[in-house]
Amino acid sequence: MTTLLNDQQIIERILSHIDNKTTDLGETVWREPVSSYLSDERFESEIAMLRRLPIPFCPSAMLPEHGGYVSRKAAGTPLVVVRGDDGLVRAFVNGCRHRGMPVAKDSASARSFVCPYHGWTYGLNGQLRHIPGQEGFPGVDLQSNGLVEVGALEKGGLIYVNQSGPVELSALESVPDFFTFEQQYFDKSEYTDEANWKLIAETTMEGYHIRSLHKKSFAPYGFDNINVVENYGPNSRITFPFRRIEKLRKIPPEARRLDGMLTSVYTLFPNVVISVLSKHTTITVFEPLSPSHTQMVIYRMINSTHDGATIGVEEVARDVDFVRAAGFDEDREAACGIQETLSSKANQYLTFGHFEKAIVHFHQNLKEYL
Whole-number pLDDT of residue 325: 79
At 20 the pLDDT is: 97
Least confident of 10-19, 247-256, 286-295: 247-256
Is 337's pLDDT higher than 50?
Answer: yes
Determine how many CB atoms are found less than 10 A away from the CB of residue 308: 7
Query: To the nearest whole number, what is the mean pLDDT of the chain?
Result: 95
- What is the share, in percent, of the chain residues with pLDDT greater than 90? 90
Query: Is pLDDT at 305 greater than 90 in this prediction?
Result: no
Report the pLDDT averaged over residues 295-315: 88
Task: Determine contact, residues 78/100, Cβ cutoff 8 Å.
Answer: no
Q: Where are the domains of the chain?
A: 7-52+180-369, 57-167
Per CATH, the number for 7-52+180-369 is 3.90.380.10
Mean local confidence (pLDDT), 125-147: 97
* Amino acid sitting at position 92: F
Q: What pLDDT, on the 0 to 100 scale, is given for residue 2?
A: 61
Side-chain half-sphere CA neighbours of 254 within 13 A? 0
By mean pLDDT, which of 30-44, 154-168, 179-193, 306-320 is the weakest?
306-320
Is residue 1 pLDDT above 50, yes or no? no
pLDDT in the model for residue 324: 82
Q: For the structural domain made of 57-167, what CATH number should be given? A: 2.102.10.10
DSSP string, 299-355: EEEEPP-TT-PPPPHHHHHHHHHHHIIIIIHHHHHHHHHHHHHHTTTS-SEEEE-GG
Q: What is the mean pLDDT of residues 203-232?
A: 95
| Per-residue model confidence (pLDDT) at position 359 | 98
Say what the pTM is.
Answer: 0.95
